[in-house]
Chains A and B, each alone.
Chain A
Amino acid sequence: MSCENTRSMIHGYLDDELGLDGTMAFERHVAECPSCSLELEDYKALRAKMRNSSLYYQAPAELRVRIHQAMGEFSGQESKRPVEKLSKPSWWQQPTLAWAFAAFACGAVLLVLTSSIWMPRIGENSRAPLLAQEVLDSHVRSLMADHLFDVPSSDHHTVKPWFDGKLDFSPPVPNLDSQGFVLAGGRLDYLEGRPVAAVVYRRRQHVINLFMWPESRETSTKTEMHNGYNMIHWSSGGTEYWAVSDLNQQELQEFVSLIQTQTARAPAK
């Protein structure tokens, strides 16, 4: 292989697009040619530099909130707009056989993944996907300005009585200050067609919404991850609990364990 050929293949080599034969021919030449080898080193260094430079822009949290909000508004509209035609649909509507297969395989994997998220126990709890969506919507809404509290207070003796007369049950409001989960306030929310209690805790910059309402069935603790948010829910002692946060799963689990210990000690009325 000539140097000129080798140079033209450097990018294909770096991107793993040469195939076995091409890769071997390329490596044979580079092993014997110092100048091509130096050229390759340059591009390897460039790639390393790009990878170490945090060039990837993550979507900001506000953007997610804005999109959730816009989707809610759209869903709430009475008259549906006609489905908008995309200007250039050709490439995915006429896929090659190989592409179609890859796409199908990817779709199947996604479907399996999402169904395992959304239908953890089919039959036992068929309302779970809808409910999880409702709970998540409430959480996201609460993060937008002025929706987080009806009663901002870090004192559980203020928050707990506030719910009296507003709900037909009395939600527990455990004090977890010493464990690093600071009570921030409470709010009335509305899920599954009924008013529910939302108690808000903070862990560093993260907000945890703990939703509670009466539920006679006992269910074990389940963990779900949805759209970047962790959700843990269970019911015991006549109350259903949903904890939602962008906090990492381990710390949210810790929060839930503390709530479970405290509410087991002093069950809700």
Chain B
Amino acid sequence: MDSPEQRARFEGLVLPHLSAAYNLARWLVRNPQDAEDLVQEASMKAFRSFDAFRGGDCRAWLLAIVRNSCYTFLGRRRKPEEKVEFDEQQHSSESAAATQESILIEEANRESLKQALEELSVEFREAIVLRELEGLSYREISDLTEVPVGTVMSRLSRGRQQLRDRFAPPLRKEGRE
């Protein structure tokens, strides 16, 4: 693997997707330093196993490795309460309480959208990042995250619904202008 040709091939095929890798890691672990370390670790893993890469979608290949690294990292660090399945009831009552505040209208800026996305459960967040920011199709997300297309669709739908509920008043206002 250490021939300059192989290295050049790796750099030409895989490293152009470094931002895709970083973006996914950054959203999964929600911390720039950990994201950088994980992407570096995953890139070296990819580099070392590049011989085994049979060709195909390099971005998907790199993203799969990054994703594994991130989940391993999250699994190591995850506290018990973060493991709890997303509780829709609890969440909707929280967001209902928050919606009363007219402050929410002013908060509907980039930072609060970022925060809202960061607060989604990791599965919903991942589906939205891969779809909205990376532009992957349902099929591609399904292959990458190893769940059926139907699950991808329901994660997207529930994730977006939570975001929508949080931002509904200002969005609707903007949408009607």
The answer to the question of A110 belonging to the interface, with a C-beta cut-off of 8 Å to chain B, is yes
Inter-subunit contact B138/A17 (CB<8 Å): yes
Contact of A83 among B27, B48, B157 (CB under 8 A): B48
Can you name 29 A-B residue pairings with CB atoms under 8 Å?
A15-B156, A41-B175, A41-B176, A45-B175, A46-B167, A46-B171, A49-B108, A49-B113, A50-B133, A55-B110, A55-B113, A55-B114, A58-B19, A63-B39, A71-B10, A74-B47, A75-B7, A76-B2, A83-B51, A86-B45, A91-B143, A92-B54, A92-B61, A99-B139, A100-B56, A103-B56, A107-B58, A114-B9, A132-B8
A47-68 at interface with B (beta carbon < 8 Å):
47, 49-51, 53-60, 62-64, 66-67
- Secondary structure at the B interface, as helix, strand, loop or mixed, is helix
Inter-subunit contact B131/A15 (CB<8 Å): yes
Count residues of chain A with CB under 8 A from any CB of chain B: 67
- Secondary structure at the A interface, as helix, strand, loop or mixed, is helix
Most interface-central of B7, B12, B32, B153 (chain A CB within 10 A)? B12
Contact of A107 among B18, B45, B56, B108 (CB under 8 A): B56
Annotate B147-164 by CB proximity to A: 1 below 8 A, 0 otherwise: 000000100110010011
In the complex, chain B residues whose CB is within 8 Å of the CB of A195: none
In the complex, chain B residues whose CB is within 8 Å of the CB of A157: none
The answer to the question of A70 belonging to the interface, with a C-beta cut-off of 8 Å to chain B, is yes
A1-34 at interface with B (beta carbon < 8 Å):
8, 10-12, 15, 17
Inter-subunit contact B164/A42 (CB<8 Å): yes
Complex Cα spacing A123 to B156, Å: 51
The answer to the question of A222 belonging to the interface, with a C-beta cut-off of 8 Å to chain B, is no
Top 7 A-B pairs ranked by shortest CB distance?
A: A103-B56, A59-B22, A45-B175, A45-B171, A75-B2, A114-B12, A57-B26
In the complex, chain B residues whose CB is within 8 Å of the CB of A93: 54
The answer to the question of A84 belonging to the interface, with a C-beta cut-off of 8 Å to chain B, is yes
Assuming the contacts A71-B7, A118-B8, asked whether A44 and B175 have C-beta atoms less than 8 A apart, the reply is yes
Inter-subunit contact B133/A55 (CB<8 Å): yes
In the complex, chain A residues whose CB is within 8 Å of the CB of B15: 64, 67, 227
The answer to the question of B99 belonging to the interface, with a C-beta cut-off of 8 Å to chain A, is no
Closest to B53 in A: A92
Complex Cα spacing A87 to B153, Å: 26
The answer to the question of A266 belonging to the interface, with a C-beta cut-off of 8 Å to chain B, is no
The answer to the question of B85 belonging to the interface, with a C-beta cut-off of 8 Å to chain A, is no
Complex Cα spacing A134 to B114, Å: 40
Assuming the contacts A15-B156, A17-B137, A83-B48, asked whether A88 and B23 have C-beta atoms less than 8 A apart, the reply is no
Complex Cα spacing A1 to B28, Å: 37
Contact of B11 among A81, A104, A227 (CB under 8 A): A227
In the complex, chain B residues whose CB is within 8 Å of the CB of A11: 153, 156-157, 160
Annotate B103-142 by CB proximity to A: 1 below 8 A, 0 otherwise: 0000011100110010000000000000111000111000
The answer to the question of B98 belonging to the interface, with a C-beta cut-off of 8 Å to chain A, is no
In the complex, chain A residues whose CB is within 8 Å of the CB of B23: 56-59
A121 to chain B, nearest CB (A): 16
In the complex, chain A residues whose CB is within 8 Å of the CB of B89: none
The answer to the question of A133 belonging to the interface, with a C-beta cut-off of 8 Å to chain B, is yes
Most interface-central of A71, A81, A83, A103 (chain B CB within 10 A)? A71
Closest to B36 in A: A63
The answer to the question of A161 belonging to the interface, with a C-beta cut-off of 8 Å to chain B, is no
The answer to the question of A238 belonging to the interface, with a C-beta cut-off of 8 Å to chain B, is no
The answer to the question of B68 belonging to the interface, with a C-beta cut-off of 8 Å to chain A, is yes
A265 to chain B, nearest CB (A): 36
B47-67 at interface with A (beta carbon < 8 Å):
47-49, 51-52, 54-58, 60-61, 64-65
In the complex, chain A residues whose CB is within 8 Å of the CB of B21: 59
The answer to the question of B94 belonging to the interface, with a C-beta cut-off of 8 Å to chain A, is no
B113 to chain A, nearest CB (A): 5
Inter-subunit contact A80/B167 (CB<8 Å): no
Inter-subunit contact A133/B4 (CB<8 Å): yes
The answer to the question of A122 belonging to the interface, with a C-beta cut-off of 8 Å to chain B, is no
The answer to the question of B5 belonging to the interface, with a C-beta cut-off of 8 Å to chain A, is yes
